[in-house]
A and B are shown apart, each in its own frame.
Chain A
Amino acid sequence: MATNYGSKTKTALSFAVERDNLLQCYDAFESTGSTHWPDVVGTYSGSRAEGNPVLNTTEGVGSNKIKYFTFDGAGDYFHFEQYGQPNICSLSTWIRINDTNAEETLCSHISGGPVGTYYYIMSTGYMAFGYYNAPWTTIEGTGSVVDDNVWHHCVWARSGTNHRFYVDGSLDTNLTMDVAMGGTINTIGSRWSGGHQFTGDIAHFSMYSVQLSATQVSDMYEAQRHRFGV
């Protein structure tokens, strides 16, 4: 897997770092200020901001400058064309949460029909993943709390029934699911029916069709942490 450090202005991949096997990459760093995030091929393939998440552009300077979207937890989310995820899959995201009373959904599906998975932060501040195995089942992190109003790099990396959560470049929790899960997603920041919407900041969101390794996750974190002051 190729590794690329540093910003790549004028592309949609500036924060991706790991570029191979990308399924999706939304990067507020490259935002044009519109209501869209550029996707992996640099075009706006149907993504749309609902509600009115706010683009922030003033944090950091020079090569450390970041842009991010702030979601109000009450109707703000991104909606994009749905796609099916493979059983082997990873989500990498930079987030900042200052809400210790609620679940924060990173992504899922806005409709109840095809939804099978959701990635979220529990009200206790730990990473978690929900999947439908008749009934809904969750696996929950037990390592680091990430809703402390500090930027965190969170990675969900699964292959078959193994699912590893990483926080800030280190393994947080190594979990086993009951079944291997794919899932269809089309939102960032909301669960179905507008439930458990994200309150806070998202600067980067990329999905991969592989289970990222510990080394890759650490490299991703180390390459970008200076931008977030951590």
Chain B
Amino acid sequence: MFENRKYVIINTSETGSIDFSQVLFRNAQILTLNVSGSKTFVKYEDDMPSSIDSLSTKSVEYTNTEIRNILTGSEWSHGI
């Protein structure tokens, strides 16, 4: 279902540089943060958008399965 979706983790400090018309989130307010609040992730389909490609803290691209495995880890699991 989500073979075309790609996910990239970035530092929260760079969310102001995202062109939200290029990603599958409406704005920075709805982004999911890690427990410490230092990181978030964006998602898009097919090629990496230019505003994401230009971010200095971007991770490698993850698949849907890979990002879900990351999100279930302790760094991203909020409380219970």
- Which residues of A pack against B, CB within 8 Å? 50-52, 54, 70, 72-75, 79, 99, 101-102, 130, 136, 138, 191-197, 199
Contact = CB atoms under 8 A, between A and B. Distances in A.
**Nearest 7 pairs of A and B residues by beta carbon:** A194-B32, A195-B78, A52-B24, A193-B78, A73-B68, A74-B67, A102-B72
B78 A74 contact: no
Interface in B21-40: 24-26, 30-33
Contact of A75 (B1, B25, B77, B80): B25
Q: How large is the interface on B (under 10, 10 to 19, 20 to 34, 35 or more residues)?
A: 20 to 34
Interface of B: 1-2, 5, 7, 24-26, 30-33, 41, 43, 64, 67-69, 71-72, 77-80
Given A50-B30, A75-B32, A70 B1 contact: yes
A193 B37 CA distance: 10
Nearest to B64: A72
A72 B72 contact: no
B68 to A, nearest CB: 5
Nearest to A99: B68
A99 B31 CA distance: 23
B68 A193 contact: no
B41 A74 contact: yes
B43 A75 contact: yes
A51 B43 contact: yes
B71 A73 contact: yes
Contact of B2 (A50, A72, A192, A196): A72
Contacts of B25: 50-51, 75
B71 A74 contact: yes
